[in-house]
Amino acid sequence: MKGNLNIKMKQIINITDITEYLYCPRKVYLKLVKGIKYPPNERMILGMLRHKVFDVFNKNESILVSSIKTKISEQDIKKLYNELLNNIIKETILFNKNLLFKFNINESVFSKSVNETAFPEIELRIPAIIKTINSGFLGKELWRNLKPKYLTEFKIESQNLGLRGRVDRIKFEDSILPIERKTREKVFESDKIQLAGYALLLEQEFGRKVEKGIIEIMGKQEEVDLNSELKNKVLEIADKIRNLIEDNAFTPNNFSKCKNCEFAEECEE
């Protein structure tokens, strides 16, 4: 017997829906139950296409590093990364010309958006590569022995957990460290829960405990202890969202947060 084929799979919940639920359950209800979507805009399309670039970048970085067969300078390494990135950007533009045209996005604006994210990510990688080369490793051995390694805007999903997310940056060294970047001045509890959600996904993906995370905010880094309490909170809220969807439940407004909400009109109906 091959097992029970009627086992109900968990509905996949985005980690960002969990953080939105903490802000306003009603907003998640409108989006996931009533099917009201954010109207697509330039910022959203730029973000989506940037994600596509880094999906390809992450898959090809090991090939790039393994192609280094001789000692080379920091500038030469940067050149290799920039060539890889620019080729991916060109291909992304080529396959998404209609989308760029529809939202009146200039190709140079898109390239600038990607490079603003990529520049610090490339800079992070250079010292480790130079150090590993100087330790005598080249080619495939260079990649194999490289520490730390990074992934940028890494998409990850677990059917078992019923969760998916996209981590801003992951640092692999003696431990796995998820890093979330914020552009505001304050760290909220929801940011810590978001990191805990990523930790759960990374533990499933790589089979290693993830106990710490970093929130980057205004040029500073705040370390977060990703304890069982935070991780359980993620699973608890994900189940609340599933119940919300299944029960088609109405949730109350949080009026203090409604003034600038993009769902304000629909919420009044």
The string of pLDDT tens digits covering residues 242-251 is: 999 988 866 6
84 shares a domain with 162: no
For residue 80, give its domain range: 42-146
Are both 73 and 159 inside the same structural domain? no
**Which range has the worst mean pLDDT, 24-28, 87-91, 250-254?**
250-254
Contacting residues for 146 by C-beta, under 8 A, at least 6 apart: 65, 128, 129, 132, 137
Assigned domain for 21 exists? yes
Residue that finishes a domain, picked among 146, 163, 196 = 146
Q: Is the pLDDT of residue 257 over 80?
A: no
Q: With pLDDT > 90 as the criterion, what percentage of the chain qualifies?
A: 77
User: Does residue 113 sit within a domain?
Assistant: yes
Measure CA 192 to chain center.
14
pTM of the model: 0.89
| Segment 188-193 long-range contacts (CB within 8 Å, at least 24 positions apart) | 189/22, 190/19, 190/22, 190/23, 191/19, 191/215, 191/224, 192/224, 192/226, 192/230, 193/18, 193/19, 193/22, 193/230, 193/233, 193/234, 193/237
In a domain? residue 262: no
203, 177 Cβ separation under 8 angstroms: no
Which stretches does DSSP call E strand in 29-186? 149-158, 163-172, 176-182
pLDDT tens per residue across span 135-178: 999 999 999 999 999 999 999 999 999 999 999 999 999 999 99
Return the pLDDT at 106.
94
CA distance 59 to 160: 24
Instruction: Tell whether 112 and 49 lie within a shared domain.
Output: yes
- Residue 156: how many other CB atoms lie within 10 Å: 20
Q: Are residues 103 and 178 in the same domain?
A: no
Mean pLDDT value across residues 255-266: 65
**Same-domain pairing of 88 and 219:** no
Q: Within this chain, do residues 104 and 68 fall inside the same structural domain, yes or no?
A: yes
Question: Phi and psi (nearest 5°) for 77?
Answer: -65, -45
**220 belongs to a structural domain:** yes
Same domain, 137 and 50: yes
The residue to which tokens 């697509």 are assigned: 40
Choose one of 102, 131, 146: the last residue of a domain: 146
Do both 52 and 185 map to the same domain? no
Q: Is residue 198 part of a domain?
A: yes
In a domain, 6, yes or no: no
Q: Are residues 25 and 48 in the same domain?
A: no
Residue at 267 is within a domain: no
| CATH code: domain of residue 207 | 3.90.320.10
pLDDT tens, position by position, 32-71: 988 888 788 999 999 999 999 999 999 999 999 999 999 9
Q: What total of structural domains would you count in the chain?
A: 2
Residue 5 buriedness (CB in 10 A; 0-12 / 13-18 / 19+): exposed
**Whether the predicted pLDDT of 214 surpasses 80:** yes
182 in the same domain as 117: no
Which has more pLDDT, 105 or 2? 105
The verdict on residue 5 lying in a domain is: no
Task: For the chain, give the percent of residues with pLDDT over 70.
Answer: 89
- pLDDT for residue 39: 84
- Both 123 and 28 in one domain: the answer is no
From 146, 175, 205, the end of a domain falls on 146
Do 48 and 128 have their domain in common? yes
